[in-house]
Amino acid sequence: MQRICAYCSDGYRFVSDVLYTNRHQLYGTAGSWFILDIVFYANGLFSGQVTASMGFGKTPKQESIAALILNLISLPGYICTILMVDRISLKQLQLMSFFMTAFFFVLLAILQPYLIQVPVLYVMVYGCTFFFQNFGANPTTYIIPSVVYSTAHRATCHGVSAAAGKLGALIGAQTMLYLFGAFCSNDSCDDDQDSRTDINRGLQVTFSVCAFLAIVGGAWTKFMLVDHKAIVKNGKGDFETDMTASLLSPVA
């Protein structure tokens, strides 16, 4: 029992030292992953409800078409990341991703009364938010913690960053439907004209909040995240140089 307690004590001391030593980098990697997953998982989990509220997805066939359109738009984002990840810094790629995501959410919030009249265009613009999350922030929040920390600290710091992301996903999943139905009477959005107006207002609020969070994510990336290209190899460990290899590794 004493050996077990000593082992736990040493493990706790090691983790504490790792977190304190890398605290500034953790602010950047964990914080940006946290912010991204609020937006990414909230929209990913409830994209069906969102597209149905856009007037595109009221039948199973329309739901399938809407899901296909979103996937066809978002999937190339990963491909673009693979093509660009060795050409520009991960920080710049993530920064671009957050601000382009914010741009399209702002478009959705402002132009929502007009886009609702053209459901296919509405879904395509909505799909662009997924494209730019996949073209940058979604992969880079995973890759950056694997390249900015020394080998001895990498697993611990990457795990803490990932945990922050999952916390953001939990918050996004819990708040998305609340924002979505915030203006519906008795928390019930029926398919009548009054409820349609309430749903549209809820969508505008949801898109506005997502745009704000994406802007915060961009600002956080700009001022809090360490650029991996600026890190000089020192005696504490080595760093990856092939970003594509890290990108293609399995994601949990």
- Whether 34 is covered by a domain: the verdict is no
| Chain centre distance of CA 202 | 21
- Residue 233, pLDDT > 60, answer no
pLDDT of residue 110: 93
Q: For 12-61, what is each residue's pLDDT tens digit?
A: 777 888 889 999 999 999 999 999 999 998 887 777 777 777 766 677 78
- Residue 241, pLDDT > 60, answer no
How many structural domains does the chain have? 1
CATH of the domain at 195: 1.20.1250.20
- Whether 30 is covered by a domain: the verdict is no
- Whether 1 is covered by a domain: the verdict is no
pLDDT of residue 9: 60
| Chain centre distance of CA 50 | 17
- Whether 95 is covered by a domain: the verdict is yes
Which ranges constitute the DSSP H helices of 133-229? 138-143, 151-180, 193-224
pLDDT of residue 186: 59
- Whether 3 is covered by a domain: the verdict is no
- Whether 65 is covered by a domain: the verdict is yes
- Whether 212 is covered by a domain: the verdict is yes
What are the beta bridge partners of residue 237?
Answer: 234
Give the domain range for residue 197: 39-247
Q: What percent of the chain has pLDDT over 90?
A: 46
Residue 238's pLDDT band, with cuts at 50, 70 and 90, is very low
Quick check: helix, strand or coil at residue 55?
coil
Sequence-separated (6 or more) residues with CB below 8 Å from residue 38 = 168, 169, 171, 172, 175, 213
237 φ, ψ (degrees, to nearest 5): 165, 180
- Residue 158, pLDDT > 80, answer yes
**Residue that wins the pLDDT comparison between 1 and 173:** 173
- Whether 158 is covered by a domain: the verdict is yes
